[in-house]
Amino acid sequence: MLKISFWLKRIAQLLIVLLLVTFGVSLLLRLIPVDLATVLLPVGTENERDILRAELGFDKGPIGYYLQWLGNFVQGDFGKIYFSGGTEDVSAHLADAMPRSLLLMAYTQVIAIAIAVPLGVVSAYRAGRRADKIISNTLFTLSSVPNFAIALLLVIFVGVKFAWLPTLGYVPLSDGVWEHLKHMIMPVISLSLGLIATYTRLLRADMIAALREDYVTMAASKGLSDQRILWRHVLRPSSLTLLTSAALSMGGLIGGAIVIESLFATYGVGFEVFAAIAGRQYVALQSTVAVIALFYVFFNLVVDIASGFVDPRTRDRRVNA
Amino acid sequence: MSSLLSIKNLGVNFDTPRGSLEAVRGVDIEIPAGTSVGVVGESGSGKTVMCRAAMGLLQGSNVQRTGTVVFDGNELTAMTKEQVRDLFGSGMAMIFQDPMTALNPVRRIGSQISEGLRVRLGMSKKDALVRSKELLELVRIPNPTAVLKSFPYQLSGGMRQRVMIAIAIACNPKLLFADEPTTALDVTVQAQILQLLRELREDLKMSMVLVTHDLGVVAGNTDYVAVMYAGEVVEYAPTTKLFADMRMPYTEALLESIPKIDHKSGTRLSVIAGRLPNPTDRGVGCGFAPRCKYAQEKCHTQHPELQKDPDGHLYRCWFPIGEAL
């Protein structure tokens, strides 16, 4: 019972976070010293603008405007993108961009963790020895190269010189798994290298600390092999920082991968944000940021639940707290 | 009498940024089969390091071990890590001082007990869990089925120590190293754990090395006692003989520092003044000389060799108790 009330409390907290974030963004938009209706309808008549003001709630105060936007948002009406020929629904844009971003994020995280975990385990086990030094130095070097530079190198060599992979575009999964993956490989590599370095370092540090614990000596005295001790006894209690860091990088991967998305023409959510800012589509911007915040909060909740399984102590500590 | 474990001239050095730290030096101990040997000394005297070095559990590139350790006919110091590992569980096992930290915090008790059975004895998962439950019953844990599914943090300190004992005896070891098994526990629980160890030792025909800083624990639970000071064995004798006729001033000081039940309230507790010598620079004389009330000029300038009484009582002192000066 305690557990259920804990999760209800946690979800309520997250809802408050979402409300604060969206209200903050909403307030910021109202602080921009321009007439939003004029920006959205630069060539319309004043009468048309008045209609738009009433439709979007620009004529109300900041709170009234926010409540109207929120009412529409929870009903799935994310607003419109206005341009000279007419309007497009933000929801349609996001429905196209979100799967691209989510898949890009998922592949990046899976690859980063799948590579970082063995590297972290090896470098912690061989801490201070040659293997550790090679891994640490290589990753440090790679992580200090910005991801767009890596992306450009990939484009030049893998894409153009050897022409192994397409350099532009996105192909949905429904058009063929291999075609889809071919277009994802280079963006995923570009985004994951930095994360691999971060994750490896975090895991290495936590594992080195855990390797000094009595329960490791205890496990050794049971006659277990080093391999078994590392993977079965040390990795799990050492992976909480890694998990937390992975959760924190979700937001950046969904909404902040704009450079990589542009370079490879993946056009995910990050690009939508950029397009909304560049085109001064403030309503679209507000709704897109809200959707990113929603996913960010959701993934953090998932990681919260996951860490309870990784380390049961955190689960009960929360119940007691 | 044949020795189950024979430690000869064991030394352990740690390389530290401040120089080589000599944690254990020149230790000779024989553990005859079927006996219980106490290792006593204050914190930092090298008891734990000596045991871990004997088993080969000290890891790290900064550790140097010298001397020979022979267990049950196997010269551990000449074997590879993998060969020594094959002796763990069914040959040697260890229980640790702090049951809070020596059990893996994120794994269930059942998997921690059955792991050794599966890896060392090749039992199936199901059989190992059945045996684990029997082991929990053997160490007198009430409601073993529930405990198998628990995590360590859900158990009390005494229960955890029982679980650790269950893990250690799982594969019927011939020799059990008990490294301060009761230090982290309440006094009443201490007595129960010592009682349990005594019974298990008889039932399983196990030898035991009982490490403690408490001479009181040694008195009722061991056949021989080795007193350690500053990394060396300074006195070794059958337990009854040691208490009846101790030769080493340090042992006497240790015994005097135990509070007595007939002490008047308000009496100051007796303590051994001073500290252990710096382990990176042991000095030339007897390590205990600066703290010893019998110390003479010679004690500060010459390191005492191990002396042997005709009855086998060993001590490391120039002016042992009971001898005319």
Band (A256; pLDDT cuts 50, 70, 90): confident
Q: Which domains does chain A have, with CATH numbers?
A: 94-278 (1.10.3720.10)
d(CA A42, CA A62): 22
B179-193 pLDDT, tens per residue?
A: 999 888 888 888 999
Q: Where is pLDDT greater, at B174 or B257?
A: B174
| Any A CB within 8 A of B284 CB | no
Q: Distance from CA of residue B93 to its chain's centroid?
A: 12
Q: How far is A223 from chain B (nearest CA, A)?
A: 5
Give the full edge-to-edge strand order of the sheet including B3-16. Answer: B19-32, B3-16, B63-71, B74-75
d(CA B77, CA B57): 12
Residues 129 through 168 of chain A touching chain B, CB cutoff 8 Å: 129
Q: In chain B, what residues touch A222 (CB-CB under 8 Å)?
A: 88-89, 93, 115-116, 119-120, 167, 170
What pTM, to 2 d.p., does this model score? 0.86
Q: In chain A, what residues touch B93 (CB-CB under 8 Å)?
A: 221-222
Specify the residue for token string 């192994």.
A164
A61-76 pLDDT, tens per residue?
A: 889 999 999 999 999 8
Q: What are phi and psi of A78, to 5 degrees?
A: -90, 5
Q: In chain B, what residues touch A232 (CB-CB under 8 Å)?
A: 107, 115
Question: Which of A316-320, B234-238, B314-318 shows the lowest per-residue confidence on average (mean pLDDT)?
Answer: A316-320
| Any B CB within 8 A of A209 CB | no
Structure tokens given for B76: 């551990």
The three-state secondary structure class of B74 is: strand
Q: How far is A132 from chain B (nearest CA, A)?
A: 14
For a pLDDT cut of 90, what percent of chain B falls above it? 57
Kindly determine whether residue A218 and residue B96, on different chains, have CB atoms separated by under 8 Å. Answer: yes
Q: In chain B, what residues touch A126 (CB-CB under 8 Å)?
A: none
d(CA B312, CA B46): 23
B270-305 pLDDT, tens per residue?
A: 788 888 888 777 778 888 988 888 888 888 888 998
Q: In chain A, what residues touch B116 (CB-CB under 8 Å)?
A: 222-224
The four Cα atoms A278, A281, A287, A293 give a dihedral, to 10 degrees, of 20
The three-state secondary structure class of B5 is: strand
C-alpha R_g of chain B: 21
Q: Which of A113, A95, A146, A138 is nearest to A263 (CA)?
A: A146
C-alpha R_g of chain A: 24
Band (A321; pLDDT cuts 50, 70, 90): very low
The three-state secondary structure class of B305 is: coil
- For residue B297, the 8-state DSSP code is H
Instruction: Determine the pLDDT at residue B16.
Output: 86
| Any B CB within 8 A of A77 CB | no
Question: Which of A10-24, A244-258, B219-233, B263-277 shows the lowest per-residue confidence on average (mean pLDDT)?
Answer: B263-277
B202-252 pLDDT, tens per residue?
A: 999 999 999 998 888 898 899 999 999 999 999 999 999 999 888 899 998
Band (A226; pLDDT cuts 50, 70, 90): very high
| Any A CB within 8 A of B302 CB | no
Instruction: Determine the pLDDT at residue A316.
Output: 65
Above 90 in pLDDT, residue A28?
A: no
